[in-house]
Structure 1
Amino acid sequence: MEGHRNSVTGQARIEGVALQAGDIQGGVHIHSHAPALLPVPQQLPPAPAHLLGRAAELSALDAELSAPPPPGGRCLVLTGPPGIGKSALAGSWLRTRARDFPDGVLYADLRGHAPGGPADPGEVLGAFLRALAMPAVPADLHEAAALWRSVTAGRRFAVLLDSAATAAQVRPLLPGAAHSVTVVTGRTRLTGLGIDVARFFEVGLIDRAAATELLARRVGADRVAAESPAADQVVARCAGLPLALCVAGARMAARPRQPLAATAEALSRESDRLDALRLDGERAVHAALAASYRGLEPAAARLYRLLGLLPVPEFTPALAGAAAELPLAAADLLLDALGDEHLLEQPADGRYRFHDLVRLHARECGTEGEPPEQRRAAARRVAEHLLATATATERLISPSRRPLARDYDQPPWHVPEFDGEESALRWLDAERGQLAAALRAAVADGRPALVWQLADAMWPLFLRLRAAELQVEAHESGLAAARADGVRAAEQRMLTSGGHGLRNAGRPVEAARWYGEALELARAMADPRAEANAQYGIGQSHRLAGELASARRAFEETLRLREQVGHPRGVALARIALGEVALAAADLPAALAQLDQAERELTELGDHYEAARALALTGQAHLAAGRLPQAGRTLDAALAAFRTARSTLWEARTLHLLGELAERDGDPARARQHLGTALALYRTLAAPDAEAVARRLAELPTG
């Protein structure tokens, strides 16, 4: 080995098992299954090609990055009026410093002035943690923030928090790592971040020379030089506000044969009309928007008006097509046209949104230009598009779930055909903000049927993507709506599914109360299947609380009811639950009897995921009985099934059991391998089991 050396330098990152050796002789076999690596996040939205008039601000930000960092990392706050270019400045600066952040750049629009209210910090943390390969996020905001700080500790991250409302909204999102940088933009000064050692930067208007250059880059230097007086008037009437200049420039660029004087005159006319607005900059933006709006083709102008009336924060071609009753291709072209006019931003491919001021203008145009019945119809079509698409994901991901009614005023627009669970889950993840906004708008508009139907259709989002807080909110609203609507089946579903959400959110006492109400209602409705579901929820609550006798009684009643109504999958799931209770009570023969039968029944039904759960628990029972060979064979089969199903939690649990088995079999090296991989998986899920596995690993002999 003399003369051989292994080294790792720079910002290298190693995941899973690594072997460094100078010389290797003989066979080396390493078996490991680590979580798939996601790409390093680079989430900044597109930045302007040229950032003009900001040399002083860029220099000040560079100086901050050169200074020694405070212990909790840097927090740089850019404040200024709307349309001043805070987001463009922040994004452009972070792009120039990308090499300083090898672990990635994360972005969130905090929607400080959006119509649906500011973004919830818990939702933003969830998106950040999922971007870092953490599919499960604690429901409690403080726990999620603590996990966020743990995950980012020691890394070199940048985070852009755009359009913040308050310091309280921002504070849980600060990474806290010494070499991290968080840039916050907002209209208000956010002085409360001073206690977090934030540095504040006021972003002002750009000067006349920069404004003229910006206009020349938009419309061409030759045109500006040839019509210098008109160009000067446009610059003056845009008041040094970059957004106004961009909108006016886009209008002129789209009309190469129209004199610049026509835009200058339009800006003057609109400024006179909008004198009631307080800020010169805001008046300039409104004037530029009004001029651009008047130049739109009728179909684009109508879409602009309708989008301004919608409660959702982002638009896809499908959603826009539903709003305006347009084919997908036509909606896509019109969104592109509005983007070309700087009336829409495009933060990601196929997704569009308004700047806050543009949304206000579009809403004014919609209120003035669309009759009330057309406004209501557009919002209804969008809500029904979301409802129908979420229902399609429900049919695909939870096919055995008993469907409830869906009320559509007309056939829903643009419901996609998903090619599998993965594409359905991607849609749910991308549209969770739109679904939440539609549900809240339905509550505000007094549409109870739509409220509970949306809450019901979002079940796969709650079941698979674990959005516990949104699940509780949706079902609290859905329960009130179902009762107001007088639909008892919906009320019972809201109680049962809502109990599931409360249990996942760490509120077991409330969950038990909801399940109890669900049981009473099911009995009053003489609905044994609903009664069985309520009993199942009660049983799970008792099992988690360690009340095994009560849990067993509830699961036995679940089994009886499901056999009575002929629900074979439900029967098998009740057997799994009874097997878990018997395992916890150390009644191994009873556990094996229930689990063996459940595994056979689920395999016959083609439910391989639940059959694998029964197998894993069977392996646990064999392990507890000291039957190590049987335990190994059963757990290996379960592990393969969970990897095929991409079930991270149960993969980790099975590896945990295999680690225990290896330790009892006198193989500490194999135990360390299994437990190490289980620990990595548990940590991606923020699972409480991680602590116990970490302790066991520390106790294992190293030799």
Structure 2
Amino acid sequence: MVGAGAHREGHDNPADRTSHHRTKNTVSGVVHGATVQAGAIYGDVHFHPHPPRTVPHELPPPPVTFVGREDELAALDSRASMTTSGRCALIALGGVGGVGKTALGVSWLHRRSDRFHDGLLYVDLGATDAHRPMSASEALGRCLRSLSVPSEQVPAELSERTSLYRSLTAGRSLALLLDNVVSAAQVRPLLPASETSVVLVTSRLRLVGLALDGATFVDLQPLSNEDSNHLLAMLLGRDRVEAEPVAARQLSELCSGFPLALGVVGARLLAHPQWSLVEFAASLRDQRNRLSALSLADDVSVQAVLDACYRDLGSRAAQVYCQLSACPGEDFPVELVGAVHLDVVEAKAALTELVEANLVQEHQPNRYRYHDLLRAHADGLGMEDEQSRQETKRQAIGWYLDRAVEADLTVNPQRWRLGPLYASGKQPTHFNSAESALDWYEQERANLLLAVHEAYEHGWDELVWQLCEALWSFFLYRKHYPDWMAIHEIGIAAAQRCEHPLAESRLRCQLGFGHLDLEEYDLATEVCEPALVLAEAAGHRESISTALSQLAKAERGRGDLDAALSYFKRSLALVEETGNLRGIAIRLRRIGSILLDQRRIAEGIDHMQRSATLLEVLEDRRGRARTLTYLGKAYASADRVWEARAALHEALAVMRDSGSPSYQADIVYALAALAENDTDITTALKHLREAEALYRASGHPRHDEIHERIARLTSPQQATQDESA
């Protein structure tokens, strides 16, 4: 018997094995850790524990003022047990906004949390956001990460995410609360493959399509008068309610039993203990006819309550509340507020007042968002001064452009640019490293994309194409191909609309790069040929050189190496005229890659070495790492294996810090080829599997090629060949 922490005085002597006539196989006493029971063990025993799996508990805290709903809670208990083999219980909670769907779902799941040993997941799908709902693919990505799948291993394609999610959830006991759903299509990929799991869906709509997926429906009605009074008593204290019972009942009636309205009323009265309930009830009957709106069982029933809160705000807080609803995105950082008419100190003070009034939420440190109904309320108020609202929106988009330019300069300080903000010579001050800049892009990704869309919708074309150019470093290193393609199509349209041919040429080349990454060479040519025509018509050498370089890569992808080399040489000659050292270094690398393809190994290595030297002088670590990747492959072609490994490992160290899965994959793939050439199949497979995961995470199509290679190396025939080698 060997237990964890067991001590042995040495190894058994094989010569003594025959002297043991009997083997005892018993366990006595307390064992801490793992235990192995066997007849006899010669040598060491090693235990390799799996890393612990995090059990997600993502539900918001249970509402402290949840009242009533006994019938609905009983219905959830009953319907949660209505499952069929391989299918989870799916329950759709329906009702108008503010009626308490989320509160019911959260409360029930907290009460029944002991049923779900594998975790409680929460996703707000944003159906009531002022912009657009979350996609099923993004929601799946969040769920997979919650289930301990590393970000770099989350597939890019919706179908692959769905398959992985179903595999991970099979047989598990999970609960999901999918909040603010807008369509049945959002829900279907998120259904666990387990009859011991439950999915609660909340939506303002009755999602009848979910009936095809076995859903049952629970429709919520407003609270009864009795429960409404109880809720007010919980918020304000029973003594205060009993001191003004008639006014308390009037407030309940004016709120029409909507928990959100009652909650806001109670919060404001609690914050102002000197106010009487009679006076506050009277404020809901003001001359702006809030009473009739509040008496309707619809979203407008909340309007009067929110207007009362709004009227009590200070002038700065009121200004922020109205204007920020015009800003693109689901949430906003305090710096954005500071860029819209206020400095950061005033912005923080105004936001603090809004948080205390429960009109915005600080869901992360210094990041704020509206509740969906509150944003709609603020939108309506902002419409009273549409000119100011549009000015705010433009300022917000301008802030995103300014910050994106800084991030781009931090990641790629020496790349030539077209936008006027780059020409100002302003140095980045908000990012201390390329990694922090890329992380900012990632955090603000949804807001940046919305900024592009909204700027285009408002005809602010100069902002659109400049934003697209400023997003280049993000797409180069983090990929996000669908966003890359969609945003650049909009940018090209904006450049055409504002008649800026150089901007169109620039964005066509950036879009073409994405197609080249995806090995869509004909599409890349189709996009970049007009870019060359536009650049030549303008006589802009940098733009001409860039377009030639993209066309060269497309020719290489199609196998026409002579045409590719001709394009690259023309491109190099132009950047040599401009004196752009980084451009020269990159084109030397690209020419070197063509020479390697033509088996002109020595010439290829020479070009790569010259490129690496230039980039080292320029202190362009990432650019040099890309060149070292190609140089490592060149050394391998020349059987200079030690130099190949050294170059590739140096490049990998830089790219791991850069957070670029695709470029890391290129290097690991090259290391796999080296190991395979050395017949080190174990190491080759290790590298191939990592490369496959990295390519898959970035959405690169090469993961299929690597998957086939792994299958070949792990086939029985290959194993036999390896043994006979």
Q: Determine if the TM-score, normalized by the shorter chain, exceeds 0.5.
A: yes
AA of the residue aligned to 1:607 = D
1:608 to 621, 629, 636: 621
The alpha-carbon deviation at position 258 of structure 1 amounts to 0.8
Match of 2:652 in 1: 639
CA–CA distance in structure 2, aligned partners of residues 504 and 127 of structure 1:
26
CA–CA distance in structure 2, aligned partners of residues 561 and 529 of structure 1:
7
Distance change in 2, residues 1:297/1:640 (3 Å): closer
Higher mean C-alpha deviation, range 461-470 or range 504-513: 504-513
Match of 2:25 in 1: none
The 8 Å contact of residues 496 and 537 in structure 1, kept in 2 or not, is answered as yes
2:540 to 524, 527, 545: 527
SS at match of 1:342: coil
CA–CA distance in structure 2, aligned partners of residues 521 and 489 of structure 1:
7
2:411 to 376, 397, 412: 397
Match of 2:26 in 1: none
Q: Does 1:328 align with 2:337?
A: no
AA of the residue aligned to 1:390 = A
CA–CA distance in structure 2, aligned partners of residues 660 and 99 of structure 1:
50
CA–CA distance in structure 2, aligned partners of residues 334 and 43 of structure 1:
29
The 8 Å contact of residues 290 and 303 in structure 2, kept in 1 or not, is answered as no
The alpha-carbon deviation at position 265 of structure 1 amounts to 1.7
Could you give the per-residue CA deviations for residues 25-58 of structure 1, whole angstroms, max 9, x where no partner exists? 689999xxx9x99976655455523432234434
CA–CA distance in structure 1, aligned partners of residues 551 and 290 of structure 2:
63
SS at match of 2:714: helix
The alpha-carbon deviation at position 349 of structure 1 amounts to 3.6
The 8 Å contact of residues 270 and 290 in structure 1, kept in 2 or not, is answered as no
1:143-158 paired onto structure 2 within 5 Å: 145-146=162-163, 149=166, 158=175
CA–CA distance in structure 1, aligned partners of residues 222 and 203 of structure 2:
15
1:467-616 paired onto structure 2 within 5 Å: 467-503=480-516, 508-616=521-629
Match of 1:380 in 2: 394
Q: Does 1:418 align with 2:434?
A: no
Distance change in 2, residues 1:123/1:546 (3 Å): farther
Could you give the per-residue CA deviations for residues 555-614 of structure 1, whole angstroms, max 9, x where no partner exists? 333333222322222222223333434444555444333333322332232222332333
Q: Does 1:57 align with 2:72?
A: yes
AA of the residue aligned to 1:109 = D
CA–CA distance in structure 2, aligned partners of residues 352 and 311 of structure 1:
13
CA–CA distance in structure 2, aligned partners of residues 436 and 460 of structure 1:
15
- TM-score of the superposed pair, with normalisation by structure 1: 0.85
Could you give the per-residue CA deviations for residues 309-349 of structure 1, whole angstroms, max 9, x where no partner exists? 444332322222323x2222332232232233232244444
The 8 Å contact of residues 532 and 561 in structure 1, kept in 2 or not, is answered as yes
Distance change in 2, residues 1:262/1:405 (3 Å): same
The alpha-carbon deviation at position 516 of structure 1 amounts to 0.9
The alpha-carbon deviation at position 72 of structure 1 amounts to 5.0
Match of 2:16 in 1: none
CA–CA distance in structure 2, aligned partners of residues 80 and 264 of structure 1:
26
The alpha-carbon deviation at position 500 of structure 1 amounts to 2.8
SS at match of 2:200: strand
The alpha-carbon deviation at position 237 of structure 1 amounts to 1.4
1:349-364 paired onto structure 2 within 5 Å: 349-364=365-380
Match of 1:76 in 2: 91
Distance change in 2, residues 1:541/1:405 (3 Å): same
1:623 to 636, 645, 654: 636
Match of 1:431 in 2: 444
The 8 Å contact of residues 452 and 481 in structure 1, kept in 2 or not, is answered as yes
2:202 to 185, 188, 194: 185
The 8 Å contact of residues 274 and 286 in structure 1, kept in 2 or not, is answered as no
SS at match of 1:184: strand
Match of 2:103 in 1: 88
1:287 to 287, 300, 304: 304
The 8 Å contact of residues 261 and 302 in structure 2, kept in 1 or not, is answered as yes
Q: Does 1:239 align with 2:253?
A: no
SS at match of 1:478: helix
Could you give the per-residue CA deviations for residues 232-269 of structure 1, whole angstroms, max 9, x where no partner exists? 11112111111111111111111101111112222244
Match of 2:130 in 1: 115
1:211 to 216, 220, 228: 228
Q: Does 1:318 align with 2:335?
A: yes
Higher mean C-alpha deviation, range 191-200 or range 617-626: 617-626
2:454 to 414, 438, 441: 441
Distance change in 2, residues 1:364/1:419 (3 Å): same
CA–CA distance in structure 1, aligned partners of residues 181 and 42 of structure 2:
56
Higher mean C-alpha deviation, range 298-307 or range 502-511: 502-511
Match of 1:658 in 2: 671
The alpha-carbon deviation at position 678 of structure 1 amounts to 4.2
Structure number with greater Rg is: 2
The alpha-carbon deviation at position 221 of structure 1 amounts to 2.4
Distance change in 2, residues 1:671/1:313 (3 Å): closer
Match of 1:230 in 2: 247
CA–CA distance in structure 2, aligned partners of residues 597 and 475 of structure 1:
33
Identity of aligned residues (%): 35
Could you give the per-residue CA deviations for residues 598-639 of structure 1, whole angstroms, max 9, x where no partner exists? 223322322223323333333333434544444344434333
CA–CA distance in structure 1, aligned partners of residues 710 and 171 of structure 2:
20
CA–CA distance in structure 2, aligned partners of residues 421 and 103 of structure 1:
37
Could you give the per-residue CA deviations for residues 200-221 of structure 1, whole angstroms, max 9, x where no partner exists? 2222223333322322222222
CA–CA distance in structure 1, aligned partners of residues 265 and 366 of structure 2:
25
Distance change in 2, residues 1:4/1:671 (3 Å): farther
CA–CA distance in structure 2, aligned partners of residues 147 and 197 of structure 1:
22
SS at match of 1:286: helix
The 8 Å contact of residues 108 and 160 in structure 1, kept in 2 or not, is answered as yes
Higher mean C-alpha deviation, range 432-441 or range 76-85: 432-441
SS at match of 2:444: helix
Q: 5+ residue gaps in structure 1?
A: 7-18
Distance change in 2, residues 1:53/1:601 (3 Å): same
The 8 Å contact of residues 478 and 494 in structure 1, kept in 2 or not, is answered as yes
The 8 Å contact of residues 53 and 210 in structure 1, kept in 2 or not, is answered as yes
Distance change in 2, residues 1:430/1:672 (3 Å): closer
CA–CA distance in structure 2, aligned partners of residues 561 and 101 of structure 1:
65
Q: CA RMSD in A?
A: 3.8
- TM-score of the superposed pair, with normalisation by structure 2: 0.82
Q: Does 1:451 align with 2:468?
A: no
Match of 2:9 in 1: none
Distance change in 2, residues 1:5/1:309 (3 Å): closer
AA of the residue aligned to 2:283 = A
CA–CA distance in structure 1, aligned partners of residues 541 and 620 of structure 2:
23
Aligned length: 678
SS at match of 2:381: helix
CA–CA distance in structure 1, aligned partners of residues 599 and 42 of structure 2:
47
CA–CA distance in structure 1, aligned partners of residues 35 and 470 of structure 2:
51
Distance change in 2, residues 1:56/1:377 (3 Å): same
The 8 Å contact of residues 38 and 133 in structure 1, kept in 2 or not, is answered as no
Could you give the per-residue CA deviations for residues 477-517 of structure 1, whole angstroms, max 9, x where no partner exists? 22222222232322221211222344557755433211111
Distance change in 2, residues 1:493/1:350 (3 Å): same
Could you give the per-residue CA deviations for residues 640-685 of structure 1, whole angstroms, max 9, x where no partner exists? 3433444443444433433443344344444454445445545544
CA–CA distance in structure 2, aligned partners of residues 161 and 189 of structure 1:
14
